[in-house]
Amino acid sequence: MNLDWQICSRARLSRDARFDGKFFIGVLGSRVYCRPICPAPTAKEKNCRYFSSAAAAAEAGFRPCLRCRPECSPGTPAWLGTSNTVSRALRLIGESGLEDGGVEVLAERLGVGSRHLRRLFLQHLGATPSAVANTRRLQFAKKLIDETSLPMSHVAQASGFGCVRRFNAAIRETYHRTPTQIRRLAHQKNTSPGNQYLFRLRFRPPYQWESMLTFLAARATPGVEEVALGHYRRSISLNGTNGYFEVSLDEKRQGLSVHIQFDDSRALFLIIERIRRMFDLSADWQAIATRLRTDPALARRLEDVPGLRVPGCWNGFELATRAILGQQITVTGATALAGRIVSAFGQPFFATGGLTHLFPSPEILADANLSGVGLTNARSKTIGALARAVCDGRISFEGIAESDAFLTRLSEIPGVGPWTAQYVAMRALGEPDAFPSGDLGLLRALNLGSVRELERRSAAWRPWRAYAAMYLWNIASERSVSGGKAVLPKRQKSSVARAAAQQSASMVA
Ligand SMILES: [Zn+2]
């Protein structure tokens, strides 16, 4: 484990929220473990032990604190710097628990031996993969007990315990209380109907909620997504069940408020996990800022707009389709096209406000005649080919263990170039180092004349180039709003424009 106890100690004593979820504190006397922000009186240093994950604290025999509720902390930082494998394993555990086959299968999917995977987990998180999966299951169960009025048998199922007896035993062992006693402690005033849930998801501050909304608003597919009055909402469909969710900022709690309407409570874990990824809640802002600050142009913007995140997506296929639509046209144009595809081919769905449809499935788009809604021949062929590849299993946006291999397969689709692939990597796979270097907006933001120059400069931003891209688009969009035009060196202007036309789209509407 690479925890620096002096940093941990300072963060603990100042209750520094930027460290929330990055480490946990076990207190020897009470045998309880806490978040750095715990409101309880601080323990003496000699009685504190530091752990890099909740699972490690649990493994060492500490119980989760009922006051600061470790299950509510933002996730383990999404990117553990040196260990790609651990980050990817965490992503896979997030998608399925460890339900489909345990550590052996997980290791195999990641292309490493299971002993090696255990060693990596112990090194970075201080706990084995199965302990991490167990802790996540328990944490989610605790969240459902505290924040919903679901019957306990549903809580057991939704958090992956299989049977109520196992669930009861695990909760009692961990919290020294029964599920019902815990629910009583939570003093809920939950009056929402049975299929509606309200959750609070924390982030490590700072978090630029306004910029996140602005980005999503410009790209919101009419009928499927909507941004209004500080809320983002969208229709969703999972395993044949339809519903929607709505997200807004919960300023008091340094988190997001998530309202979900969905009939199948067993899907809640996956829905929450996807929302966490979509809003990039596990990002470790400090690590990102430290690296990006080394570039003077980015440093200024980081100062002005701290806490930009990389917006993810709800559904990889939808995002990839949207990225193809966005090739070589403005964001506004692409959004309008997406809206037309939805009203022609999406399944009608009625929820709140402007949500009228579900985004069409790959099965529908595989055979759809897209030229009828105004797409160029080339674009409709590309989208059709993508949809067919998803239908026959050549491409799957779920359970991706190896991003490079996935992107290679994606790029084999005619019409999917490096820009589209990198954009999908950024937003659908959550790759923090993905970078669509051919993007005209990125070049403009830095007044650079060539893709090669940009690539050279971006080397210093690794492994956070996706965040750098968000900052550069932020710079470029402000310039276009204020009417200022980025000036490209004259002799390179046309070659940049040509390069951009071949492989990229300007994200600046
Ligand atoms: Zn606590």
pLDDT tens by residue, 345-387? 999 998 777 899 999 999 999 999 998 899 999 999 999 999 9
Euclidean distance between CA atoms 259 and 239, whole angstroms: 20
Going 42 to 47 to 49 to 54, the CA torsion angle's sign is negative
Å from CA of 43 to ligand 1 middle: 11
Residue % of the chain over a pLDDT of 70: 91
pTM tops 0.85, yes or no: yes
Does the structure show a pLDDT above 70 at 503? Answer: no
Does the structure show a pLDDT above 50 at 487? Answer: no
When the pLDDT of each residue in the chain is averaged and rounded to a whole number, the result is 89
Å from CA of 371 to ligand 1 middle: 58
Å from CA of 414 to ligand 1 middle: 54
pLDDT at 400: 78
Query: How sure is the predictor about 495, in pLDDT bands with cuts at 50, 70 and 90?
Result: very low
Q: Around Cβ 192, how many Cβ atoms within 10 Å?
A: 13
Strand-by-strand arrangement of the 24-27 sheet: 48-51, 24-27, 32-34, 63-64
If you average pLDDT over residues 318-342, what whole number do you get? 95
If you average pLDDT over residues 411-436, what whole number do you get? 94
Q: What region, left, alpha or beta, does residue 62 occupy, with left being phi > 0 and alpha being psi -120 to 50 degrees?
A: beta
Å from CA of 38 to ligand 1 middle: 4
Does the structure show a pLDDT above 80 at 311? Answer: yes
Euclidean distance between CA atoms 381 and 415, whole angstroms: 8
pLDDT at 403: 83
Does the structure show a pLDDT above 70 at 167? Answer: yes
Query: How sure is the predictor about 482, in pLDDT bands with cuts at 50, 70 and 90?
Result: low
More confident position, 182 or 490:
182
Does the structure show a pLDDT above 70 at 493? Answer: no
Q: Around Cβ 25, how many Cβ atoms within 10 Å?
A: 26
CA-nearest of 67, 64, 66, 50 to 125 is 50
pLDDT at 499: 40
Euclidean distance between CA atoms 334 and 355, whole angstroms: 19
pLDDT at 501: 38
pLDDT at 218: 95
pLDDT at 381: 95
Does the structure show a pLDDT above 60 at 59? Answer: yes
Query: How sure is the predictor about 97, in pLDDT bands with cuts at 50, 70 and 90?
Result: low
Listed in order, strand segments (DSSP E) in 4-61 are 24-27, 32-34, 48-51
Å from CA of 45 to ligand 1 middle: 15
Residues marked as catalytic: 34, 439
Euclidean distance between CA atoms 127 and 94, whole angstroms: 16
If you average pLDDT over residues 394-413, what whole number do you get? 89
pLDDT at 500: 41
pLDDT at 371: 85
Express each pLDDT in 12-31 by its tens digit: 999 999 899 989 999 999 99
Residue % of the chain over a pLDDT of 90: 70
Strand-by-strand arrangement of the 225-228 sheet: 196-202, 255-262, 241-250, 231-238, 225-228
Question: What are the structure tokens assigned to 46, written together?
Answer: 């000699």
Does the structure show a pLDDT above 90 at 142? Answer: yes
Residues with Cβ within 8 Å of 483's Cβ and at least 6 positions away in sequence, in order, are: none
Does the structure show a pLDDT above 80 at 96? Answer: no
